[in-house]
C-alpha cells in the first residue's frame, strides 16, 4: 500500500476529521493511563487528530506516519500551545534510539490497516519501542464488516487480537466504547495490553 499516494490523491476514507471519541471515555475511566508527562507513540497517526487530543491531555506525544504529506497537514493543525513530535518513518524500522522509550503506544486503526503477514512484526516492534512495563492501549476495529470503502482493509476479531498479542503482552483491561464515530457502534473494543518482560532484556 502506497500511503503517501493515497494522501496525495485524497483517497482517505478512514479520515474522520476528529479524534477517536473513546479517548474521552478512557480519560474518565482510566485517568492514570493518560496522565500528563507520559511518553506516547501514535503509529499511523495520519493527520494527527488522536495525537493532538492526547497532547491536549498533557501527554508527551510522538505522531508517527510513513506518509509525509499527512504529517505536513498534522503540523499545520498543531496549536501553538501544544508540543507534538511528528515523525516520518516506517513504524517497523525505528532506530535503536527509539527503543524502550515510550510509556504507551496508542493503537487506533493501524493494526487493521497492515497486511496480516506483518502482524507478528507489529507486536515485536511495539514491544521494542515500549519501556519495561509499558502498555499498548487502543480502540481496536474488531468488526469491520461494512460497505466497501467504509471499513479497514483487513479483519482481525477480538480473540485473534488477544492471541496475536499474547506472545509479548498480556491483556490487562478491556471494555466496549460508549462513544463512537457514526456507524461504528458495536464494532470496536477498547483494550489495554501490558508489555511482558523478556529473557533478552
Tens-place pLDDT, residues 26-74: 999 999 999 999 999 999 999 999 999 999 999 999 999 999 999 999 9
According to CATH, the topology of domain 38-195 is Rossmann fold (3.40.50)
Nearest to 85 by CA among 101, 107, 96: 101
Order of strands across the sheet that contains 130-141: 84-88, 60-65, 39-43, 102-108, 130-141, 188-195, 169-175
Instruction: Please give the biggest Cα pair distance in the chain.
Output: 46
**7-39: per-residue pLDDT in tens?**
667 777 677 789 999 999 999 999 999 999 999
In this prediction, residue 117 carries a pLDDT of 96
Split at pLDDT 50, 70, 90, the class of 187 is confident
**What per-residue confidence (pLDDT) applies to 146?**
59
What confidence category does residue 151 fall into, taking pLDDT thresholds of 50, 70 and 90?
low
Q: Is the pLDDT of residue 97 over 80?
A: yes
| DSSP letter, residue 3 | H
| pLDDT score of 200 | 54
Residue 163, C-alpha cell as written in the block? 492471541
> Helix 119-129 vs helix 158-165: angle between axes, to the nearest 10 degrees?
60
At 198 the pLDDT is 72
Where along the chain do its domains lie?
A: 38-195
More confident residue, 77 or 151: 77
Amino acid at each position: 500500500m502506497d500511503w503517501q499516494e493515497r494522501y496525495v490523491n485524497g483517497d482517505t476514507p478512514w479520515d474522520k476529521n476528529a479524534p477517536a471519541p473513546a479517548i474521552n471515555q478512557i480519560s474518565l475511566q482510566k485517568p492514570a493511563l493518560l496522565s500528563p508527562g507520559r511518553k506516547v507513540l501514535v503509529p499511523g497517526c495520519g493527520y494527527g487528530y488522536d495525537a493532538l487530543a492526547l497532547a491536549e491531555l498533557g501527554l508527551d506525544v510522538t505522531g508517527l506516519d510513513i506518509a509525509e504529506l499527512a504529517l505536513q497537514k498534522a503540523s499545520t493543525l498543531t496549536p501553538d500551545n501544544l508540543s507534538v513530535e511528528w515523525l516520518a518513518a516506517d513504524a517497523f524500522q525505528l532506530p535503536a534510539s527509539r527503543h524502550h522509550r515510550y510509556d504507551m503506544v496508542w493503537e487506533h486503526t493501524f493494526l487493521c490497516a497492515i497486511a496480516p503477514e506483518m502482524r507478528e512484526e507489529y507486536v515485536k516492534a511495539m514491544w521494542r519501542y515500549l519501556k519495561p512495563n509499558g502498555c499498548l492501549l487502543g480502540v481496536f476495529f474488531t468488526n469491520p464488516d461494512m460497505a466497501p470503502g467504509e471499513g479497514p482493509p483487513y479483519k482481525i476479531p477480538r480473540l485473534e487480537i488477544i492471541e496475536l498479542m499474547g506472545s509479548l503482552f498480556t491483556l490487562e483491561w478491556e471494555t466496549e466504547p460508549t462513544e463512537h464515530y457514526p456507524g461504528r457502534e458495536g464494532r470496536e473494543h477498547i483494550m489495554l495490553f501490558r508489555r511482558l518482560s523478556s529473557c533478552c532484556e
